[in-house]
Amino acid sequence: MDDATAQLIHELRQDDARTRVVELLEEEPRTPAELRSETGLGREELSGILETAIEQELLERTDDGRVVLTDWGERGAEFVLIEDWNPSSMTTKKGRTFDVLADGEWHCSECELSGSQPAAYIRDFRDEGFEFVSTTDGRGEYDRRYCRTCDDETTHRRMKYAFPSAKPITRQEMPEPFKKRVRELYDGRDAFDLSTPGGTPEVDHRKPRIRWDEPEDFDYESMSDAAVREHFQILSGKHNLLKSRKCERCVETGERPPFLGIEFYYEGGREYEDDVGCSGCGWYNPHRWREAVTDRLERAAACDGSE
């Protein structure tokens, strides 16, 4: 939904009187007199609520004097009336993290959010359609703020709305024949160290899911080899997990971690920039990273030899 609609739903959820009116009208149309009787609202207060909702095209009046939800109002009612959109149980760290963020305030990732990897929970919430506030300096969906508890500047998160206001970011099922093709294309070699992992190597998306902003939409059957190399690589399970942790940390801090301890980026620099994205980072594309390092070393050697 667009931001104006999400903000309107958010405002409705904060107003018990308006929420009660929507709840009653979802059951069936009512006259203003019936609404006054069932809600206990005064004539002027109810009139104000109804007129505002009609202006917002949530409600409309029928010829017989009743008030009904519009088609838009019926679609929005679900978001207004579900009290708790928490996608996880409160017995889990993920559920407790959501519960903290649901108030729409800034929260410290170090001391307020559950677990050692809150960025992974943030990714899951984003995948399910929950939006987070982006800072204005282009660093992403977090802010660096002073935390009194930590007595330091730490990463803070703020959920826009306690309901899913964006399109869910879904992941396609990857066909087994495609996975086999990718492994054969890379000769079964791990992208990080070009070794041949024991067992079956995993087919990995170069762009980490935590950075996705659209649902996945690949045509696996007709994808060219060039497209496969652009979007996918293979990794051992250990290296895939390591990459996930590094990418989560990048999202958490806004700094792209050096690849295998070497601070070199073939595009951009250590600070993550939206217009560069993941490109240039060795964790994103170790193949291009190695080519760029090799090219730089060869040019440096040629310069030394010409002197």
* Sign of the dihedral defined by the CA atoms of residues 214, 219, 224, 225, in that order: positive
92-125 pLDDT, tens digit each: 989 999 999 999 999 998 899 866 677 788 888 9
- pLDDT at residue 122 in the model: 85
50-103 pLDDT, tens digit each: 998 898 888 999 999 899 999 888 888 888 888 899 999 888 989 999 999 999
Domain regions of the chain by residue span: 3-81, 93-157, 176-298
- Of 39-43, 103-107, 120-124, 241-245, least confident by mean pLDDT is 120-124
Q: Which residue type does 200 have?
A: T
d(CA 241, CA 199): 16
Higher-confidence residue: 303 or 135?
303
CA distance to 82, 133, 154, 156, 253, per residue, from 247 (Å): 33, 19, 18, 17, 10
Higher-confidence residue: 171 or 187?
187
- pLDDT at residue 248 in the model: 83
Reported confidence tier of residue 293, pLDDT bands at 50, 70, 90: very high
Tokens of 161: 């709305």
- Tell me which range, 12-26, 115-129, 180-194, is most confidently predicted by mean pLDDT: 180-194
pLDDT at residue 138 greater than cutoff 70: no
Reported confidence tier of residue 305, pLDDT bands at 50, 70, 90: low
With b for 16 or more beta-carbon neighbours within 10 A and e for fewer, the 210-225 pattern comes to bbbeeeeeeeeeebee
Average pLDDT over residues 18-23: 90
3-81, CATH topology level: Arc Repressor Mutant, subunit A (1.10.10)
